[in-house]
Structure 1
Amino acid sequence: MSSSAPLAPTFATHEVTNQAPPLVYDAWKTDVPLREAVHREGGGWAEADIAKYGPLVGGELMQQGFLANENKPKFKPFDRYGNRLDEVEFHPAYHRIMEAAITHGIPNFAWRHEQTPGAHVARMALSYLHNQADQGTSCPLTMTYACVPTFRHHPGLAQQWLPRVTAASYDSRFIPSEKKTGVTIGMGMTEKQGGSDVRSNTTRAHRLGEKGPGNPYSLVGHKFFFSAPMSDAFFVLAQAEGGLSCFLLPRFTPDGERNAIRIQRLKDKLGDWSNASSEVEFQGAVAWMVGEEGRGVATILEMVALTRQDCMIGSSSLMRQALVQAIHHTRHRKAFGRRLVDQPLMLNVLADLALESEAHTVLTARVARAVDAGPRDEREAAFARMATAVGKYWVCKRAPVFVNEAQECLGGAGYVEESNLPRLYRQAPLNSIWEGSGNIQCLDVLRAATREPASREALFQELMTAQGGHPAFDAELARISKDFADTATLEGRSRFVVERLALALQASLLLRAGNSQVADTFCETRLGGAHGACFGTLPAHAPLKALVERAFGEDASA
């Protein structure tokens, strides 16, 4: 070889091309369906507050979410000297996400603006945005939001705790709550032997003095799922003399000592990695009865109703984030000489995902309005009881298959942890399981339909307001009425009935929202049968490009 021959560039094997750039964007500004839904349902007055969170979610918090999930919580049972700690250690990214969420109002906005109609709708939007950056932190945030009605069963406890529950301040210190600027609240209902059948709970509550609401008890027993064990206090169920009752269980006793809550281990979960879930034992832990003795389920169900709403918010926002990632990737990736988004079959898939995502968003926002108006409007309260269960069942059920389809849009890159699609996919099944699985939701729908005529009437009145909007919708209304008429076999058919009810409710909301391209396509495909079993099966005449552009516009990247 001649000494004058040029040397090959060392290690310069190729040039990186045809890759989507990092996505940094405004999660609020680029979400037309969400913005329209929030205004339609009465939360538009809070747009300035919501808008502040959009760039944070699409920027810094998205990166913090990666870090918080890569660095899982660690259980610290003892200190180096052998003293009992029962603490959970979190990565700084987790604390930063929690700080941003609480400061911007995820758990507290609705309560701080409670006298203004639409406050819970605005808070829904904030939570919807937050979930897209990280889902694990939404567990303690949701429970802290949802605990307020349960606290109000006892004015003394409410006066003591609610100022810090609703404070826009995150205080992560493991110290007695009265020394903190803000607190978070967890809950524990299920035990090994019962699961959803909480009336089979064996944890015992022994009174320490006078019995009844507001008085202290000593708890002995266990919880098999004890969410967010680093919280400052928990609502739990235990058997008192008069039956299953609700108790407030703080981490510290009134004298400042660590309460006898013994963490056995942290759960090794499929997803939700940034958050800790645990198994615990109560070894004489001091707690205060909340609500009437023997009425524990009814007392804590007010909290559960709000957490079920948040399951809908969580799943609809997961699907939104998966859609955003899919559209962004396909706009920048080329194959066979064209961008992926310009290929007819890929465009069909994206449009189908966009259509479904918007349907879930409008239903979630409508339920938030019912939750918001319920205390002032009996019809809205009745509608919320049934619609929450319908929506919780259907929206949460759709998340895993939706996220998987979005992964496929990215190909192999969507299966690699460097994208956030695997995290979304692991997270997707959670909300259909948490706070009552699919069967529980269907049974709740049937219970409300048969035992609470006002709830059934309110839901059907809601559906009837869109009658005449589309032939397929009108035909679906007639079928649903017949489905409910056959009560002998209704329980065994309830999943099918609730599914059709959810689709009809989504269709009615889309029809009344006024975008004919979205509403007509949804009615034709989801109700009229012009759709296959998989995504990407919209008819050829569907407005595919318009649906994708509406979902995530060309100017999405910041």
Structure 2
Amino acid sequence: MQTSSSARADLRVVTNQAPPLAGHNVVTSDAALTEGVLRHGDQQVLDSLVGLGAEAGSADAREHGQLANEHHPELTPYDRYGNRIDEVAFHPSWHWLMERAVGHGLAATPWEEQAAGDRHAHLRRAAGFMAWSHTEPGHGCPISMTYAAVPALRADDAIAQQWTPLLASRHYDPGVRSPSQKLGALAGMGMTEKQGGSDVRANVTQARPAGGDGTYTLHGHKWFTSAPMNDVFLVLAQTDAGVTCFVVPRVLPDGTRNQLDVVRLKDKLGNRSNASSELEMDGTVAVRLGDEGRGVRTIIEMVAATRLDCVLGSASLMRRAVSEASWHVTHRSAFGSRLVDKPLMQNVVADLAVESEAATALALRLASAVDALDDPHEAALRRIALPLAKFWVCKRTPTMVAEALECLGGNGYVEESVLPLLYREAPLNSVWEGSGNVNALDVLRALTREPATLDAWITEVGLARGGDHRLDRAVEDTLALIGSLMGEPEGMERNARRLASRMAAVLQGSLLVRHAPAEVADLFCASRLSPTYDGVLGTLEGGDLRAVVDRTTPTL
């Protein structure tokens, strides 16, 4: 008979729990990512990411990601003497994450590397961004905006030369100081206002000329400005000529603080680490970027780059979620055997893996297109595929993450598992930089105003012609749908989501048929390209499901 002390000891013995998923290399354990990097880049690019992958998968990184979200940023409007300072304090773990993200070249570094002749700078950065985002999604926002600011700043050579070296620096240098005193800088963006949202032409913030040198003062508000502690912001405001883009420094050249009043920090659904804010401006100094009245056209380059990061971020959320799910079911037993050996669970995890691999393949294909800026086909493909991917991949993420969470059961419902954070974060990229409707309508805009974009899509998906009869049929059906809707504006808009979904899935199918293992491509085409596919995960038929699960399960 057991003594009470030995019984208590037995209660403390943990059995049938998956060990922590920590200590793995996020890059080298991701077959879809590594194969994509080699496909569009080379071994040297992949080798340059191995150190990042090891750090991203470490126990330290996981802990810092949790701490950054447990200890929220705090706004201090005034200092002890009553001076308006509008500073936001972050937990040390936020700075730990930011320092490494910048140090790994995930901010604006690729633009200067590309200018110096690096043919894979954006691919390297995209793969690194996806891998590093496994640590924590919130700090990716200022990193992404800093990356995206550079192509917009190129509307003015002098402004670009002033800011690009700092934004492209690998030095993380926080603090409110003059840019001349900093080793690196971060950028933000202020487009939307409370009365307009995505309809930025309804903005009411006014820009008033303050001299003949392109300097203005801004008077109004911005409803969402992430990372208000960044060093420079691209902001839209109205002039007599219409919506215009402006560069707003946090600190003026003479060292005084620009007037940027942080009204409050937003209480968001997803991550808590990043400080999304509401700003008011009254006399805020700004420098015009581009021509008056051409603000949307000027800032659209930044929007395009941040849309790419929405796709990369969502693909990363998918991969982190399926990694946690596949790791759990491989180590957890129920009803007499491991979960991974149960046919239905195997079906679910394999389906998650297929969804994740399709998203990764499309995200890396888009990144490679940024590396080929002077190629007309790549430019046209980027124009149509960015809103397609932004719509489809980001829209699929919440469903996919929810299913991954369910694989862990109750274990997935507690914060320590990280699945709740991923689940709350999953809808973000569908909202940021244009909702699903905005991106679906942008697809229509490209199709009707830029015929070369449809030609680029047809050429790209045509590279897989004959590789799978279901893909061939889906291409024909999608082209028939486009033809039936052309010339019928109301019907085309009403069916914009349907069209974007089909075009995106066909593009993913083409990439998988050409490049993925046969079992992955077969399962994708049999499900996603079927006319009767209802989107329910875990309903795959046929195929080597176990091979797909094993392919996606991380190894230590």
Contact kept? 1:531, 1:537, Cα under 8 Å: no
Counterpart-to-counterpart distance in 2, 1:6 and 1:422 = 40
Contact kept? 1:531, 1:538, Cα under 8 Å: no
Q: Paired residue for 2:123?
A: 121
Task: State the 1:45 CA deviation.
Answer: 3.1
Contact kept? 2:395, 2:430, Cα under 8 Å: yes
How does 1:99-114 map onto structure 2 within 5 Å? 99-114=99-114
Counterpart-to-counterpart distance in 1, 2:534 and 2:205 = 49
Counterpart-to-counterpart distance in 1, 2:34 and 2:46 = 9
**What do the CA deviations read for 1:454-480 (whole angstroms, capped 9, x no partner)?**
111111111111111111111111111
Task: State the 1:174 CA deviation.
Answer: 1.8
Counterpart-to-counterpart distance in 2, 1:78 and 1:552 = 50
SS in structure 1 at match of 2:192: coil
Q: Paired residue for 2:378?
A: 380
Task: State the 1:241 CA deviation.
Answer: 2.4
Q: Paired residue for 1:291?
A: 290
Q: Paired residue for 1:45?
A: 44
Contact kept? 2:392, 2:501, Cα under 8 Å: yes
Q: Which amino acid counterpart does residue 262 of structure 1 have in structure 2?
A: D
Picking from 174, 184, 187, the partner of 1:185 is: 187
Q: Which amino acid counterpart does residue 153 of structure 2 have in structure 1?
A: F
SS in structure 1 at match of 2:171: coil
Q: TM-score, normalised by structure 1?
A: 0.96
Given the superposition, is the C-alpha separation of residues 8 and 492 from structure 1 closer, same or farther in structure 2, using an over 3 Å criterion? same
SS in structure 1 at match of 2:292: coil
Task: State the 1:7 CA deviation.
Answer: 5.8
SS in structure 2 at match of 1:418: helix
How does 1:41-80 map onto structure 2 within 5 Å? 41-42=40-41, 44-59=43-58, 60-80=60-80
Q: Which amino acid counterpart does residue 526 of structure 1 have in structure 2?
A: R
Task: State the 1:113 CA deviation.
Answer: 1.9
Task: State the 1:533 CA deviation.
Answer: 3.7
Contact kept? 2:175, 2:229, Cα under 8 Å: no
Contact kept? 2:307, 2:433, Cα under 8 Å: yes
Counterpart-to-counterpart distance in 2, 1:109 and 1:151 = 14
Task: State the 1:155 CA deviation.
Answer: 1.5
Counterpart-to-counterpart distance in 2, 1:109 and 1:261 = 27
Q: Which amino acid counterpart does residue 285 of structure 1 have in structure 2?
A: T
Task: Identify which range, 100-109 or 412-421, moves more after superposition.
Answer: 100-109
Contact kept? 1:43, 1:119, Cα under 8 Å: no
SS in structure 1 at match of 2:408: helix
Q: Paired residue for 1:408?
A: 406
SS in structure 2 at match of 1:275: coil
Counterpart-to-counterpart distance in 2, 1:225 and 1:514 = 39
**What do the CA deviations read for 1:367-420 (whole angstroms, capped 9, x no partner)?**
1111221x2111110110000000000000011010000000000010100110
Q: Which amino acid counterpart does residue 370 of structure 1 have in structure 2?
A: A
Q: Paired residue for 1:278?
A: 277
**What do the CA deviations read for 1:34-69 (whole angstroms, capped 9, x no partner)?**
011111122543222211100100012222101101
Unaligned runs of 5+ in 2: none
Picking from 471, 474, 482, the partner of 2:472 is: 474
Counterpart-to-counterpart distance in 1, 2:234 and 2:43 = 33
SS in structure 1 at match of 2:261: strand
Counterpart-to-counterpart distance in 1, 2:275 and 2:240 = 32
**What do the CA deviations read for 1:206-262 (whole angstroms, capped 9, x no partner)?**
111116xxx111101000111111100100000112211100001112221111110
Q: Paired residue for 2:426?
A: 428
How many residues are paired up? 546
Counterpart-to-counterpart distance in 2, 1:301 and 1:532 = 34
SS in structure 2 at match of 1:435: coil
Given the superposition, is the C-alpha separation of residues 216 and 519 from structure 1 closer, same or farther in structure 2, using an over 3 Å criterion? same
Q: Which amino acid counterpart does residue 546 of structure 1 have in structure 2?
A: A
Contact kept? 1:43, 1:121, Cα under 8 Å: no
Given the superposition, is the C-alpha separation of residues 6 and 360 from structure 1 closer, same or farther in structure 2, using an over 3 Å criterion? closer
Picking from 360, 365, 390, the partner of 1:392 is: 390
How does 1:509-524 map onto structure 2 within 5 Å? 509-513=511-515, 515-524=517-526
Counterpart-to-counterpart distance in 1, 2:449 and 2:494 = 18
Counterpart-to-counterpart distance in 1, 2:356 and 2:374 = 30
Counterpart-to-counterpart distance in 2, 1:514 and 1:152 = 37
Task: State the 1:13 CA deviation.
Answer: 6.1
How does 1:169-318 map onto structure 2 within 5 Å? 169-210=171-212, 215-318=214-317
Contact kept? 1:107, 1:142, Cα under 8 Å: yes
Task: State the 1:132 CA deviation.
Answer: 1.1
SS in structure 1 at match of 2:246: strand
SS in structure 1 at match of 2:49: helix
Q: TM-score, normalised by structure 2?
A: 0.96
Contact kept? 2:359, 2:508, Cα under 8 Å: yes
Counterpart-to-counterpart distance in 2, 1:328 and 1:165 = 38
Counterpart-to-counterpart distance in 2, 1:424 and 1:492 = 31
SS in structure 2 at match of 1:133: coil
Given the superposition, is the C-alpha separation of residues 532 and 201 from structure 1 closer, same or farther in structure 2, using an over 3 Å criterion? closer
Q: Paired residue for 1:142?
A: 144
Instruction: Work out whether 1:154 is the aligned partner of 2:156.
Output: yes
Q: Paired residue for 1:348?
A: 347
Contact kept? 2:109, 2:169, Cα under 8 Å: no
Counterpart-to-counterpart distance in 1, 2:183 and 2:76 = 24
Task: Identify which range, 416-425 or 508-517, moves more after superposition.
Answer: 508-517
**What do the CA deviations read for 1:125-164 (whole angstroms, capped 9, x no partner)?**
0100111111101100000001111111111112211111
SS in structure 2 at match of 1:491: helix
Given the superposition, is the C-alpha separation of residues 10 and 548 from structure 1 closer, same or farther in structure 2, using an over 3 Å criterion? closer
Given the superposition, is the C-alpha separation of residues 378 and 532 from structure 1 closer, same or farther in structure 2, using an over 3 Å criterion? closer
Task: State the 1:10 CA deviation.
Answer: 8.4
Contact kept? 1:331, 1:341, Cα under 8 Å: yes
Contact kept? 2:37, 2:45, Cα under 8 Å: no
Aligned CA RMSD, in angstroms, stands at 1.5
Contact kept? 2:176, 2:251, Cα under 8 Å: no
Counterpart-to-counterpart distance in 2, 1:284 and 1:405 = 49
Counterpart-to-counterpart distance in 1, 2:205 and 2:170 = 34
Task: Identify which range, 507-516 or 95-104, moves more after superposition.
Answer: 507-516
Task: State the 1:112 CA deviation.
Answer: 3.4
Q: Which amino acid counterpart does residue 106 of structure 2 have in structure 1?
A: I
**What do the CA deviations read for 1:470-500 (whole angstroms, capped 9, x no partner)?**
1111111111111111232111011011101
Q: Paired residue for 1:329?
A: 328
Q: Paired residue for 2:539?
A: 537
Counterpart-to-counterpart distance in 2, 1:141 and 1:546 = 36
**What do the CA deviations read for 1:184-213 (whole angstroms, capped 9, x no partner)?**
0000000011000000111111111116xx
SS in structure 1 at match of 2:492: coil
Task: State the 1:290 CA deviation.
Answer: 0.5
Instruction: Work out whether 1:551 is the aligned partner of 2:541.
Output: no
Picking from 508, 513, 522, the partner of 1:506 is: 508
Contact kept? 1:147, 1:185, Cα under 8 Å: yes
Picking from 443, 460, 470, the partner of 1:462 is: 460
Given the superposition, is the C-alpha separation of residues 367 and 7 from structure 1 closer, same or farther in structure 2, using an over 3 Å criterion? closer
Determine what percentage of the aligned residue pairs are the same residue: 49
Counterpart-to-counterpart distance in 1, 2:368 and 2:3 = 72
Q: Paired residue for 1:484?
A: 482
SS in structure 1 at match of 2:493: coil
**What do the CA deviations read for 1:281-323 (whole angstroms, capped 9, x no partner)?**
0010001000111100000000000000000000011000000
Q: Which amino acid counterpart does residue 143 of structure 2 have in structure 1?
A: L
Given the superposition, is the C-alpha separation of residues 257 and 11 from structure 1 closer, same or farther in structure 2, using an over 3 Å criterion? same
Q: Paired residue for 2:440?
A: 442
Given the superposition, is the C-alpha separation of residues 6 and 86 from structure 1 closer, same or farther in structure 2, using an over 3 Å criterion? closer
